[in-house]
Structures are given as structure tokens and as C-alpha cells.
Amino acid sequence: MVSKKFVAIVAVSNILMLTCLGFVVYSQMIQIASLQSNISSLTITNKEANSKMSSLNEIIQDQTSQIRKWKEESEKISNDHNVLSEEHEKSKSNARSEQSRIIVEKSKLESQLDHSLASNKLLTEKISNLEIKLSESSEELTKLKIDYEKATNEFKASEGEWRLKQVKWEMLRKSLTVTSYPPLGNVNAERSNKKNTPVEKIIKKGKAVI
């Protein structure tokens, strides 16, 4: 890619060179005109005139050849300048295309960034909601744990009370089943004729209540 500065320098140098060539050509033309004027004004012999004319023709041919050479170099310089200009325009076009591509890529990246920010915001809200639910669940778990401990303590208390009632029941049952012995002479008759008391009947049926 040719920079703008380089192209400008080449263009200026070409213009200066063409200007110099123009001045040289102009000076040569003035010189030829002066020579022709001198030839017309001189009164010399035909031989000298022919000799001078031949020399002038040679000079003119040399100058013409030199001018033709300079013209070819000028055309070459002009062609080089055109090539550089085309390359410069091509580089400008490539730069514009690259700039357009960069703008499109930037737009895509900005769109992706906005989408990512929105997704992050949504995730943050979900995490916040989950943290709130987790806190509520933790409070509920603590409450259930307290209720469980309370129920356990109540069960243990009721179990102790039940055991105490069972002990009392055993003591009452034993006290109700104790009988007094009759006189020795009538022991068997008392045993055979003895009837159960109402309390004993209730105990046997398993309906005694303490």
C-alpha cells in the first residue's frame, strides 16, 4: 500500500522534472532561433554556409533526439504516476472496505455484549430469588427442627408419665389381688365358696382405670 505522502512526493518531483525539461527545450529553441538568425545575417561563402548548416542540422538532430528521449522519459514518469495513482485509489478502496467490515464487526460485538448484559442481569435476579427462597427454606427448616424437638420433648414427657401410670397400675393391681387367709379349719371351704369382688372382676376383664 502506497502512502499518500509518497504519492504526493512523486507527483511533485514529476512536475518539477517536466518543468525543467520545458525550460531546457525552450532554451534550446531560443538557441536554434539565434543560430538561424545569425546564419541569415552572415555573408559567408557557400562552403562555410553549408558547413555551418550541416553542423546546425547535426545539433538540431541531436537536440531533437534528446528531446525525444526526454519525452519518452516524461511519458514513462507519467505512466508510473498513473500506476501509483491507481494503486493509491485501490488502497483507499481497500481501506474503506476494511473500515466497513470493522464497523459491522463492532456492531455485532455490541449486540452480543448487550445480550450478555441482559442475560447476566436475568441470572442475577434468578440468583437473588433463589437466595431469598433458600433463606425462607432455612427459616422453615429451623422452625420444623424446633417443632420436632418440642414434639420429642413432649413425647418423652408423656412417655415418663405413662410409665409412672403403669407403675401405679401395677401397684394397684398387686394391692387388689392380695387376700386374707381364713381360719385353718375352714380354709378350703372359704376358698371354694369365695367369690370375686367387683374390683377383681373389673381387673380380670382388663377394664380397671387408674
Mean pLDDT of each 10-residue bin along the chain, 210 residues long: 70 80 83 75 64 81 87 86 86 88 89 86 86 82 84 78 80 70 46 47 44
In a domain, 138, yes or no: no
Of 82, 88, 75, nearest to 6 by C-alpha is: 88
In a domain, 154, yes or no: no
The pLDDT of residue 36 is 72
In a domain, 41, yes or no: yes
In a domain, 166, yes or no: no
Domain total for the chain?
1
The pLDDT of residue 47 is 67
The pLDDT of residue 136 is 81
What ranges in 42-186 are assigned the alpha helix state H?
46-177
Structural domain span for residue 43: 4-101
Q: Which amino acid is at 162?
A: W
In a domain, 186, yes or no: no
Alpha carbons 158 and 162: distance in angstroms, whole number: 6
Q: What is the DSSP letter of 3?
A: -
CA distances to 36, 85, 136, 155, 158 from 145, in Å: 130, 87, 14, 15, 20
Q: What is the DSSP letter of 146?
A: H
Q: What is the DSSP letter of 205?
A: T
The pLDDT of residue 49 is 60
The pLDDT of residue 163 is 79
The pLDDT of residue 195 is 46
Report CA 21 to chain centroid distance, whole Å: 62
The pLDDT of residue 197 is 47
* Structure confidence by residue, pLDDT tens digits, 53-72: 788 888 888 888 888 888 88
Asked if residue 4 lies in contact with residue 88, where contact means CB atoms within 8 angstroms, the answer is yes
Q: b/e string for 60-92 if b means 16 or more Cβ within 10 A?
A: eeebeeeeeebeeeeeebeeebeebeeebeeee
Alpha carbons 44 and 53: distance in angstroms, whole number: 12
Cα R_g (the chain), whole angstroms = 67
Q: Which amino acid is at 70?
A: W
In a domain, 28, yes or no: yes
The pLDDT of residue 62 is 87
The pLDDT of residue 18 is 81
